[in-house]
Amino acid sequence: MSADPAVASAAPPETGRVPRRQNRVTRRSVLIIDRLADWSITVGGLLVIVAVFGIMLFLAQVTVPLFTGAALESERSYPLRTDGRRTLILNVDEYRTIAFALLEDGTVTVAHAPTGTPLAGQKLDLGPSPVSAFGRTIRRDNLLIGFADGTVRFGTVSVTAEIADADRVPEGARQLDERDRTDGRLVYSRIPGNQVRIIGLRLQLDEPVRVTPDGAAIIAADYRVGGTAERPVRSFVTVDANGKVRLSRAESRLNLMTRQMRTTVANAELPALPEGVRAKAVLLTETADTVLVGTEDGTVFRYDSRDFRNPRMVERAAVLSDGEMLTGLYYLVGEQSLVVTGSRGTTDVFFLLERRNARGSDGFELVRAHRLENQGAPIGYVSASPRSKMFVTADASGGVWVRHSTSSRTLLKLQKTVDAASGYSGLVMAPREDGVIALTAQGEATAWWISAPHPETTLATLFGRVWYEGYPEPSFTWQSSSGSDSFEPKLSLVPLIFGTIKATVYALLFAVPIALMAAIYTSEFVHHRVRSVVKPAMEMMASLPSVVLGFIAALILAPIVEDWVSAVLMVFIALPLSLLGAAYAWQFLPRHVALRFGGLPKFALMFVFLLIAFQLCLWTGGLLERLVFAGDIKAWLAGTIGGPMGFTTLLLMPLMLAVVVWMSSRVLSDRLEDAVGATGRLTAGLVALGRWIATLVAALLLALFAASLLTGLGYDPRGGVVGTYVQRNTLVVGFAMGFAVIPIIYTIAEDALNAVPEHLRGASLACGATPWQTATRVILPTATSGVFAAVMIGMGRAVGETMIVVMAAGNTPIMDWNIFNGLRALSANIAVELPEAVRNGTLYRVLFLAALTLFVMTFVVNTLAEVVRQQFRRRAASL
């Protein structure tokens, strides 16, 4: 830029005024302000970088805890006064206040869980016969104790928790730690709001019930409670010393007159185990429809007990490798995952799945779904979390590992030196998954307080295939919530990323050709007056709120498209045909006429032919439906009628056209040229038209041939790019999103084409090139990078577009390329689920990860576009 004297003189008067001769030293304040402005504007300018990277870092920082596994917060060991007696169960309450153990003589020893301070114990009177087995429900409170004389007793050892005002704490209560005080028996925990939580123990034991008529000792038992609170149905399964497995059902009825519980027990004997195998563990489901018996040699016998009176063995599965002894069978919450532990440290998770040729006679078989890290020593105890698929395993050499089934991950490895011969005698995971307590045979308890806020997420579960409960195989699945407590969240981002890509691809397939062609036409072939109207109008459309497009797409467009599917498909055929036909007809016009009407009238004519094409589509849609889709397109799409031949032909047409055009231009063109020679305009036009029609026919024949070949090979596009029709589908999303993206691509591409220096255009035209040749051989190659940037920016917008996909895409997280099916995009998923997500919960952080993924995707695309664009500008400036 050169200084222009005219403008300089037009500068404001205060700079032009001749200063009076006075102090020529610049005022300090001016200098200071100048320095200040310098400094603050530079900082302000760089703030943009901070903003971009700040957003990225913040999103990343929120997602980091997803991958950190578990952390050990504190560790404390203290004695639990077992005095050499065997421990039946070890438990801790929900608030990690008291830890207690039920011993074989019925004593319950209690300690303050965080500090180990002993509290007053209680005792259950178990009677003379020694305890030989016990089982308990998943909720841990209900116990079944089996005795050596063949009887069982039901009992509960439960924690009572009550909220009360702080003044309920008795005078002289002893301080245990900063939260808890005790009167020796109850623990008072201070909670916010000037209140206390009073924690105590309640014990209860029913009368003995005889199970084995011959008095054989019960060696293994499992227990479940179903039914209602008023009329509980207690199911339990026992194995006696003779190897007999019995399923029993006890029904208790409260006699309203006498206020007495009457318990009746019904027994059913299960088919006997083979000779010589010893039952090691037994499991029962809550509905008592399946019984599992594990034997020491690593075999699991599965019984179908849906018919209570007549249970039958349906499967015999070897669950461990040869020679490894089974040490335990456990259900995780929900009773869908079976944990099998072995004497060589194996921890495997099995699912019961329906399979073709299944091992089980009922069509199901136990399938190893997860193989967890080997612990190296026999695993003695497992304790499952009551709220998720997390569990702890303790081995004989003192290792206590915190694991998660879904992610197959070992979250934390805890270690304690124990006596190798006796090992542990109890293990429990705190109900809120925030602690593990292990008890050695010598009576020393160790409490590890841990934090594992997001055990189910790893990079592998978020981006890889995961085998979820009840699924026939590992899969990419997104299902973040459900009504049930034992639900396994399925948080794979892959279906969402796929949905985003699918929507983007279909939208760009629609938008890019239209936008680029329109941009070339606007920049090179229309009158500048048309351009000065069309360009700003398009720019204005770029700021159209996407919620409006989404609304129109979902509530107006989707029903229309549904009614006129075949007519809509017809557009892709009729529109180019009608325009090209018009073009060939135009070639017949005498040169002076063509030149005279080459401007606006020709453009107007294009509109006319466009509308003609649309009308044609309405008329011929039915024809297409009859010809290709067997008369009913939706039934055809669903695969119930018709063959794939016709549609495959249509799909192949563009490819075949390209092939034919390429071949004819290589082989035929020059010969045809020589054969025809210089001729009248009419003849030349006729020849061109003839060649075009011949090309079409040849392509159609080729496509038919290829399609019949493909059909013969068994190819069917249904199930691929097309398939069952859903009203909110990708076609509609593609239209709407294309509508949103076209103005952006168009504007930027047009700018790039327009930025090509005028002298290149002039030179080309002066050399005798036609405008068409100039556009394709000179302008487009020069502007390629700018046009590329336009497409990339359009893509960035399509990737992040939210409202259109929320409203028009149906939001089903499925992975297929079917254009007539819906999708769930990352952005829509965030918009739908984040308002409901608990702050700092797993879903919250996973959704932040989704946002980060989106950010990174667009960051790459945009940075690429901007780098290309900067290069283009530099090149364009140097031309």
Partner 1 sequence: MAMDAVTSETAPPGVGSRQGVMPQRAAAGRVRLADLSAQGEPWLWCLGGALALGIVMILGFLVLVFWNGVVTFWPKPIEVVRLTDDSVIAGLPTRSARFRVGDQVLAALPAEKRAEIAANGGFADRTLYRVGNYDLYGEDFRWAADFEVVDRSRPMDLVLVERLEWGVFVGRIAAFTRGGETVRVDDPTSPALAEAWRTARARWHEIRRIEKGEIGTVNHHLEQERLRLRRALLEHPDGGPAAEAARARFAERESHYQAQYEALAARAQALKAQHEAETVTLIDVNGREKVQPLGTLVRYHAANQLTLLGKLDVYLSRWAEFLTDEPREANTEGGIMPAIFGTVAMTLLLVIAVTPFGVITALYLREYARQGRLVSIVRISVNNLAGVPSIVYGVFGLGFFAYIVGGSIDQLFYPERLPSPTFGTGGLLWASLTLALLTVPVVIVATEEALAAVPRSMREGSLACGASKWQTIRNIVLPRALPGIMTGIILAMARGAGEVAPLMLVGVVKLAPELPIDGFFPFIHLERSFMHLGFHIYDVGFQSRNSEAGKPMVFVTTLLLIALIFAMNLTAIIVRTRLKRKFAGSQF
Give the single-character DSSP code of 16. H
In 401-450, which ranges are continuous DSSP H helix? none
Other C-beta atoms within 10 Å of 46: how many? 10
Query: What is the helix (H) or strand (E) element at residue 697, kind and residue range?
Result: helix 681-712
Of 403, 388, 336, the C-alpha closest to 841 is 388
CB atoms within 10 A of CB 732: 29
Q: Which of 272, 544, 658, 701 binds partner 1 (CB under 8 A)?
A: 544
User: Segment 447-486, which members bind partner 1 (CB under 8 A)?
Assistant: none
Dmax over CA atoms of the chain, in Å, equals 126
Q: Which amino acid is at 860?
A: V
Residue by residue, DSSP assigns 450-463 as EE-S-TT--HHHHH
Find the part of the chain contacting partner 1 (CB under 8 A) among 181-189, 335-343, 394-402, 553-561. 553-561
How distant, in Å, are the alpha carbons of 43, 116, 158, 181, 287 from that of 91? 59, 14, 9, 20, 25
> Quick one: how far is CA 312 from the chain centroid?
40
What b/e string do you get for 85-117 counting C-beta neighbours within 10 Å, with b at 16 or more?
A: bebbbbbbbebbbbbbbbbbebbbbbbbbbebb
186 interacts with partner 1 by CB under 8 A: no
Least Å distance, CB 563 to partner 1, is 8
Q: Which two tokens stand for residue 472?
A: 């026939």
Give the up-direction half-sphere exposure of residue 816: CA atoms within 13 A in the CB hemisphere: 17
Q: Which is nearer to partner 1, 710 or 865 (CB)?
A: 865
Stretch that binds partner 1, among 115-123, 175-183, 341-349, 791-799 (CB under 8 A): 791-799
Cβ proximity to partner 1, 13 vs 84, nearer residue: 13
Which of 683, 680, 701 has the alpha carbon at shortest distance from 691?
683
Pick 295 or 578: Cβ nearer partner 1? 578
Asked if residue 506 binds partner 1 (CB under 8 A), the reply is no
Query: Minimum distance from CB of 179 to partner 1 (Å)?
Result: 18
Instruction: Let me know: does 798 contact 452? Beta carbons within 8 Å.
Output: no
Residue placing its CB nearer to partner 1 in the complex, 427 or 826: 826
366-405 mask for partner 1 (x: CB under 8 A)?
A: ----------------------------------------
Q: Which is nearer to partner 1, 442 or 863 (CB)?
A: 863
Q: Which is nearer to partner 1, 1 or 421 (by Cβ)?
A: 1
Whether residue 446 contacts residue 117, with contact meaning beta carbons closer than 8 Å, is answered with: no
Among positions 130, 274, 536, 781, the unique one binding partner 1 when judged by CB under 8 A: 536
Looking at 93, 304, 469, 801, which residue binds partner 1 (CB under 8 A)?
801
- Residue 770's SS3 state is coil
Residue 871 binding partner 1, by CB under 8 A: no
Question: Quick one: 271 or 513, whose CB is closer to partner 1?
Answer: 513
Residue 552 makes CB contacts below 8 A (sequence gap 6+) with 736
- The residue (of 184 and 654) whose beta carbon lies closer to partner 1 is 654
Residue 527 burial by Cβ neighbours in a 10 Å radius (0-12, 13-18, 19+) = exposed
Rounded to a whole number of angstroms, the minimum distance from the CB of residue 244 to partner 1 is: 58
Return the residue matching tokens 């054969």.
675
308 vs 855, which CB is nearer to partner 1? Answer: 855
Residues 554-573 that bind partner 1 (CB under 8 A): 554-556, 563
Is the CB of 87 or the CB of 842 nearer to partner 1? 842
For residue 848, state whether it binds partner 1 (rule: CB under 8 A): yes
- Binding residue for partner 1, selected from 60, 62, 241, 843, defined by CB under 8 A: 62
The region of 87-95, 255-263, 407-415, 546-554 touching partner 1 under the rule CB under 8 A is: 546-554
**Least CB distance to partner 1 at residue 525 (A):** 6
How far is it, in rounded angstroms, from Cα 252 to Cα 243? 28
586 is an interface residue for partner 1 by CB under 8 A: yes
**At its nearest, how many Å lie between partner 1 and the CB of residue 197?**
18
Dihedral, CA atoms, 84, 85, 89, 94, nearest 10 degrees? -60
Residue with smaller CB distance to partner 1, 41 or 420: 41
Applying CB under 8 A, the span of 176-184, 321-329, 701-709, 860-868 interacting with partner 1 comes to: 860-868
User: Could you say which of 21, 22, 28, 48 contacts partner 1 (CB under 8 A)?
Assistant: 48
Residue 532, amino acid: S
Residue with tokens 């206390």: 196
Task: Please classify residue 154 by burial: count the beta carbons closer than 10 Å to its beta carbon, then call 0-12 exposed, 13-18 middle and 19+ buried.
Answer: buried
- CA quadruple 288, 289, 295, 300: dihedral positive or negative? negative
| Closest distance to partner 1 from the beta carbon of 771 (Å) | 8
Query: Among residues 493 and 515, whose Cβ is nearest to partner 1?
Result: 515
Phi and psi at residue 488, in whole multiples of 5°? -100, 110
Q: Cβ closer to partner 1: 81 or 531? A: 531
The label of the residue with tokens 């010969």 reads: 671
Closest to partner 1 by CB, 274 or 545: 545
Q: How many residues sit in the footprint of partner 1 (CB under 8 A)?
A: 147
Candidates 471, 521, 597, 788: give the one binding partner 1 (CB under 8 A).
521
Let me know the angle formed at the C-alpha of 375 by 381 and 97, rounded to the nearest 5 degrees. 45
Between 242 and 679, name the residue whose CB sits nearer to partner 1: 679
If one asks whether residue 13 binds partner 1 (CB under 8 A), the answer comes out as no
Query: CB of 450 within 8 A of CB of 428?
Result: no
Which 595-614 positions form the footprint of partner 1 (CB under 8 A)?
A: 602-603, 606-607, 609-611
- Judged by CB under 8 A, the chain residues 676 through 705 that form the site for partner 1 are 676-681, 684-685, 687-688, 692
Residues 725-784 binding partner 1 (CB under 8 A) are: 739, 742, 746, 767-770, 772-773, 776-777
Nearer to partner 1, 45 or 714 (CB): 45
In the complex, minimum distance from the CB of residue 546 to partner 1, in angstroms, rounded to a whole number: 7
Q: Which of 487, 622, 630, 720 binds partner 1 (CB under 8 A)?
A: 622
Helices 780-800, 494-524: crossing angle, 10 deg rounding: 140
Q: Which of residues 802-831 bind partner 1 (CB under 8 A)?
A: 802-803, 806-807, 827, 830-831
**Which whole-number Å values give the CA distances from 711 to 195, 630, 644, 682, 707, in the listed order?**
76, 16, 7, 43, 6
Least separation in angstroms between CB 817 and partner 1: 23
Residue closer to partner 1 by CB (options 287, 840) is 840
DSSP string, 493-518: SHHHHHHHHHHHHHHHHHHHHHHHHH
What mask of x and - would describe binding to partner 1 in positions 655 to 674, judged by CB under 8 A?
Answer: ------x---xx--xx-xx-
122 near 114, Cβ under 8 Å?
A: no
Total residues belonging to the chain: 879
- Angle (CA) 737 741 744, round 5°: 165
Q: Indicate the residue among 217 and 779 with the shorter CB distance to partner 1.
A: 779
| Cβ neighbours of 767 (radius 10 Å) | 10
Site for partner 1 in 279-338 (CB under 8 A): none
In the complex, minimum distance from the CB of residue 502 to partner 1, in angstroms, rounded to a whole number: 16
Smallest distance from partner 1 to CB 499, Å: 14
Q: Using an 8 Å Cβ cutoff, are 416 and 446 in contact?
A: yes
Burial letters 648-666, b for 16+ CB under 10 A, else e = bbbbbbeebbebbeeeeee
Closest CB 866 distance from partner 1, rounded Å: 4
Instruction: Please state, in angstroms and rounded to a whole number, the distance separating the CA atoms of residues 550 and 806.
Output: 8
Among 22, 26, 175, 258, binds partner 1 (CB under 8 A): 26
Stretch near partner 1 under the rule CB under 8 A, chosen from 100-108, 427-435, 481-489, 574-582: 574-582
Residue 858 interacts with partner 1 (CB under 8 A): yes or no: yes
